[in-house]
Chains A and B, each alone.
Chain A
Amino acid sequence: GAGVSQSPRYKVAKRGQDVALRCDPISGHVSLFWYQQALGQGPEFLTYFQNEAQLDKSGLPSDRFFAERPEGSVSTLKIQRTQQEDSAVYLCASSSSLGQEGGGYTFGSGTRLTVV
């Protein structure tokens, strides 16, 4: 597709439930990022992939969070045993390169997760 696609757009989960959020990056984009945006805040880095390799997962808030990109294209962010503090918009971004030269990353519209 022309842009970064994320699904579902909205997800309501009961506390303790596992969820999986999907990101389809722009075709051919090597770099893929996940960010978490809490209400009224800026996006916060979670993890980064270059092709299928997860090069940085320093932003994952706990071991309940897990991300994968097995074939170097589609990525899934999984949250186990969701808690209320996990409620946020989860943004995926992709880029054809790693550096910032000439422009930033293309973001998807995000998945709004609400844990009740």
Chain B
Amino acid sequence: DQQVKQNSPSLSVQEGRISILNCDYTNSMFDYFLWYKKYPAEGPTFLISISSIKDKNEDGRFTVFLNKSAKHLSLHIVPSQPGDSAVYFCAASEGNTGKLIFGQGTTLQVKP
């Protein structure tokens, strides 16, 4: 029983367009949600996070939206660039346990 799910294994978008990556969760006790980006042969790199008390957080080209009633969050990348091509992981944490629960990842390909 996966508590964090990324149902789209892959996504392909054109350079300059918007990329939308989705994530669903089941545990209503999660209080922080994070997105990580991973290139091959490297560890995940933190991208952006959002507290459960907010519904939007923006950082440059990256915006995360949280819909608590639907237990759904999404990452928007605008405009998408070829360098954004990577695997994106959604993660959630509960309380101050420090433990992150990751989704399976979505591979984003941005075509020039």
Least Cβ–Cβ distance between A34 and chain B, in angstroms: 11
Contacting A at CB under 8 A, from B31-60, are: 31-32, 34, 36, 41-46, 49, 51
Q: Does A18 contact B (CB under 8 A)?
A: no
Q: Does A31 contact B (CB under 8 A)?
A: yes
Q: Does A45 contact B (CB under 8 A)?
A: yes
Contact with A31, one of B44, B98, B101 (Cβ below 8 angstroms): B98
How many inter-chain residue pairs (CB < 8 Å) link A and B? Answer: 72
Mark each residue of chain B from 49 to 74: 1 if its CB lies under 8 Å from any CB of chain A, else 0: 10100000000000000000000000
Which chain A residue shows the least CB distance to B51?
A: A101
* Of listed A33, A98, A105, residue having the most chain B CB within 10 A: A105
- Could you say which residues of chain A place their CB within 8 Å of the CB of B101? 45
Provided the pairs A100-B49, A104-B49 are in contact, do residues A45 and B96 lie with their beta carbons within 8 angstroms? no
A33 with B98: CB separation less than 8 A: yes
Judged by DSSP, the binding face of A is loop
Which chain B residue shows the least CB distance to A33?
A: B98
- Could you say which residues of chain A place their CB within 8 Å of the CB of B102? 35, 42-44
State the CA gap A86–B63 with chains docked (Å): 36
Measured as residues with beta carbon below 8 angstroms from the partner, the interface class of chain B is 20 to 34
Which chain A residue shows the least CB distance to B35?
A: A104
B46 with A103: CB separation less than 8 A: yes
Q: Does B85 contact A (CB under 8 A)?
A: no
A98 with B96: CB separation less than 8 A: yes
Contact with B46, one of A4, A45, A48, A104 (Cβ below 8 angstroms): A104
- Could you say which residues of chain B place their CB within 8 Å of the CB of A35? 100, 102
Which chain B residue shows the least CB distance to A93?
A: B43
Contacting B at CB under 8 A, from A1-54, are: 4, 31, 33, 35, 40-45, 48
Which chain A residue shows the least CB distance to B32?
A: A100
Least Cβ–Cβ distance between A4 and chain B, in angstroms: 7
A104 with B36: CB separation less than 8 A: yes
Mark each residue of chain B from 86 to 112: 1 if its CB lies under 8 Å from any CB of chain A, else 0: 000101010011111111110000000
Chain A residues in the interface with B (C-beta under 8 A): 4, 31, 33, 35, 40-45, 48, 56, 59, 91, 93, 95, 98-110
